[in-house]
């Protein structure tokens, strides 16, 4: 098979390699579409290393068709279209037993400890099969739509922590694919007004298509002034940071009303810290939360939202990439040239 092998910082190459052999408890999936995540960008740049092997096949947003099934598996059939939940919980640690399997102490993941989806074939390990991490796709959901289920599930997890309610004003910092997923989830939850802050013009346009009420360029107008004007000087009920920029964390917190919630959703580079005004937090009783990965139930809920037509997946993706374009696909996401790069394999 052909696969894109990550060789270390800023190095990835497409190579011929042996198609994985499966055991009696594993499944082989012929990959249809894989998508580039912002985390893949951070891996490529050398900014994320935990769980990443060198060399290895990365990529954890994947859909495909079952090619081969181990002899001990009877709940799947060859030819079925499937999506892959990459994070595999142990299901027995403290966090798994206390409704936080996304923070599992022993979790492993496809695209990290196991080879991922930037290849023609993906071996789904025993651990993932037994945990139910291979999900059959509904007939009405295309591979291109289904491939964003995993990041949408992560956003669904984050949305739950952001305390967004009917009639709220929500600020989304960053208008990339993740930001626009949060826009749509906020609107589904009944938010009255969603304001997006984004430097790239085509992403501001897409934010409006996704349902944002305002999309501003923070280099051209004050986000703080816009938020105060739109909230009768109270501040936003919720802020979601969909970009991992430590320098603007404090500024984003200051957008909140008293009692509001900020979700530091995006991943940040390890060791890079932020200056935060503790008095603003103290006197305004604001809530600061984070979000890590997803639960398997989040994936099922996200897939249901896509199937019901409540999520516009078209506005989230950029098509036309092949496996040979893997480096361009990654760099286009890094540079904001498109949206989420879809690699058709």
The strand ranges marked E within 61-213 are 61-69, 81-84, 87-88, 108-109, 121-124, 134-136, 169-173, 193-197
pTM of the predicted model, to two decimals? 0.96
Please check whether residue 306 lies inside any domain of the structure. Answer: no
Same domain, 168 and 251: yes
The tens digit of pLDDT for each residue in 167-211 reads 999 999 999 999 999 999 999 999 999 999 999 999 999 999 999
Task: Enter the tokens of residue 339.
Answer: 């949206």
**DSSP-H helix ranges across 16-125:** 38-44
Residue 270 confidence (pLDDT): 84
CATH number at residue 96: 3.90.180.10
**Residue 264: its pLDDT value, please?**
98
Looking at the structure, tell me whether residues 141 and 182 fall in a common domain. Answer: no
Decide if 162 is inside a domain: yes
Cα separation, 227 vs 218, in Å, equals: 12
Report the C-alpha gap between 143 and 141 in whole angstroms: 7
Residue 153 has pLDDT above 90, yes or no: yes
Confidence bin at 51 (pLDDT 50/70/90): confident
> Are 7 and 88 within one domain?
yes
Q: Is the pLDDT at 216 greater than 90, yes or no?
A: yes
Residue 301 falls inside a structural domain: no
Q: Is the pLDDT assigned to residue 269 strictly greater than 90?
A: no
Domain at 218, CATH number: 3.40.50.720
Kindly report, residue by residue over 287-301, the tens digit of the pLDDT: 999 999 999 999 999
Q: Are 200 and 327 in the same domain?
A: no
Q: Which residues pair with 167 in a beta bridge?
A: none
211 is in which domain, residue-wise? Answer: 158-290
Looking at the 3D structure of the chain, how many domains does it have? 2
Number of other residues whose CB lies within 10 A of the CB of residue 40: 27
In this predicted structure, the answer to whether residue 50 has a pLDDT above a threshold of 90 is: no
């Amino acid at each position: 098979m052909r696969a894109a092998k990550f060789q270390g910082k800023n190095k990835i190459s497409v190579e011929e390699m042996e198609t994985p052999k499966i055991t009696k408890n594993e499944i082989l999936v012929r990959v249809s579409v894989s998508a580039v995540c912002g985390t893949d960008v951070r891996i490529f740049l050398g900014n994320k290393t935990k769980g990443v092997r060198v060399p290895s096949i990365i990529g954890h947003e994947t859909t495909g068709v079952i090619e081969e099934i181990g002899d001990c598996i009877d709940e799947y059939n060859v030819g079925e279209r499937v999506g892959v939940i990459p994070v595999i919980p142990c299901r027995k640690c403290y966090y798994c037993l206390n409704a936080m399997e996304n923070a599992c102490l022993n979790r492993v993941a496809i695209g990290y400890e196991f080879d991922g989806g930037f290849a023609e074939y993906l071996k789904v390990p025993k651990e993932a099969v037994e945990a139910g991490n291979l999900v059959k796709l509904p007939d009405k959901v295309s591979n291109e739509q289904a491939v964003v289920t995993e990041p949408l599930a992560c956003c669904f997890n984050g949305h739950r922590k952001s305390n967004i309610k009917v009639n709220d004003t929500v600020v989304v910092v960053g208008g990339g694919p993740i930001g626009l997923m949060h826009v749509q989830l906020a609107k589904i939850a009944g938010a009255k007004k969603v304001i997006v802050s984004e430097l790239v013009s085509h992403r501001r346009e897409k934010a409006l298509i996704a349902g944002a009420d305002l999309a501003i360029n923070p280099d051209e107008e004050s986000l703080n002034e816009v938020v105060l004007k739109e909230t009768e000087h109270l501040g936003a009920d919720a802020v979601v940071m969909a970009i991992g920029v430590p320098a603007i964390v404090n500024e984003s917190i200051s957008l909140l009303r008293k009692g509001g919630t900020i979700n530091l959703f995006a991943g940040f580079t390890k060791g890079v810290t932020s200056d935060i005004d503790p008095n603003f937090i103290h006197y305004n009783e604001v809530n600061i939360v984070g979000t890590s990965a997803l639960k398997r139930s989040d994936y099922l809920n996200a897939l249901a939202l896509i199937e019901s037509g409540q999520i516009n997946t078209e506005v989230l993706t950029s098509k036309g990439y092949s496996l040979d374009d893997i480096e361009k696909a990654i760099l286009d996401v890094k540079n904001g040239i498109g949206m989420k790069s879809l690699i058709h394999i």
